[in-house]
Structure 1
Amino acid sequence: MVTAHHAVLDLLARYEPKSAAERADVERVRALVASGDPWRRSNPLHVTGSALIVHEESGRVLLRWHQRHRSWLLVGGHADPDETDPLAIALREGREETGLADLAPWPDAEVRHLVIVPVPAGAREAAHEHADIRFVLATRAPETARPENPQAPLRWLTPREARGVITEENIQETLSRVEPLLAG
């Protein structure tokens, strides 16, 4: 179990929460890792990996429409079997959801935000929570972005434009942490 959860614990050891609420979320994730499999979707709380995709040259960010939540969100999601690295999950999900083959951590591979997000019940699952570990990924080829399906369109926006369409407070917070990096 130690090796399977090493990536999460290593990331958390290097991460400095920005608020008391985020510090509490980090502690919940540490406890989740210590208690067993933090990736299992049947757990009422499980770890996910997400990212805000940026195009550094234009200063734009990429958002993805999430039909179930009826809002513009980051790319990311659940671990596949045998995945235990939140950054690798965010990269895989980012490539799958956008078609961007050149995604890479930017400006580094460090966590930018950790937040526990409530997920309402759906047709096939009970209400639960995602312990979402968030990164920044960059592309040099924004024009190659393609949605994975017609119900999940993508939009390149300036941070200011993104603020106008993002309805989730936790996504606004992630954007506020990335904006200074884009500003240089």
Structure 2
Amino acid sequence: MSAPSGVDLHGDAQRVLSGWRPADRQQQALREAFGALLAARADACSRSCAPGHLTASAIVLDADAEHVLLTLHPRVGAWLQLGGHCEPEDSSLAGAALREATEESGIAGLEIVPDPVHLDVHGITCSLGSPTRHFDVRYAVRAPRGATAVRSAESDDLRWWPVRDLPADSDLREPVAAALAAAQIDR
């Protein structure tokens, strides 16, 4: 999925986030913080933006929306949604999330819900080796029926988890619930 012709990733991020209307005040406050970062920094979508940068991730649901695909992240040591840094060739946040989900799952034919479902800001030491913050824009993604995931080199493990029985230490209940709600709209 790519942005309309002539729209760069930074412009797409501004358009998408300014048009998205989250359901609760906490998500609204995060949306405003993401907008402020984008307004202040032309490089906000690049991992070289040391104070923090946008990332794109995918809550990948199976065809029946009964399971979510999670990766055991090697640096973080926790089960997380698929996703990561935006790349220079990405022209949209949704496209970056879909690219990351495809690369990290090995699943062809993933379908993305075009609007974000959840935002999160978290501190991390990413590939540059310096502490920073990820301003993560999360999307709902549906896998085709019978999809088999293949672990990439970016993961210690890759597993389908029941949406009602996530790993004990997971903080993904809220974003998974948001993805389920978005997936219901598109059925």
TM-score, normalising length: structure 1:
0.84
1:38 to 31, 39, 44: 44
Q: Matches of 2:154 and 2:87 in 1, distance apart? A: 23
How many residues are matched?
Answer: 178
How far off is 1:75 after superposition?
0.4
Alignment RMSD, CA only?
2.5
2:131 to 109, 115, 127: 127
Call closer, same or farther: CA 1:181–1:73 in 2, change over 3 Å: same
**Relative to structure 2, which stretch is displaced further, 123-132 or 72-81?**
123-132
Residue deviations 1:10-55, cap 9 Å, x none?
Answer: 2112212333332222122112211211122132210000011011
- C-alpha contact 2:16 2:115 (8 A) present in aligned 1: yes
2:169 to 167, 170, 178: 167
Q: Identity of aligned pairs, percent?
A: 28
- C-alpha contact 1:59 1:182 (8 A) present in aligned 2: no
Of Structure 1 and Structure 2, the greater helix share is in 1
Q: Matches of 1:151 and 1:2 in 2, distance apart? A: 32
Q: Is residue 72 from structure 1 mapped to residue 61 from structure 2 by the alignment?
A: no
Q: Matches of 1:75 and 1:150 in 2, distance apart? A: 10
Instruction: Provide structure 1 residue ranges, at least 5 long, that are not aligned to the other structure.
Output: none
- C-alpha contact 1:45 1:129 (8 A) present in aligned 2: yes
Call closer, same or farther: CA 1:104–1:77 in 2, change over 3 Å: same
Instruction: Provide structure 2 residue ranges, at least 5 long, that are not aligned to the other structure.
Output: 1-5
1:51 to 43, 58, 65: 58
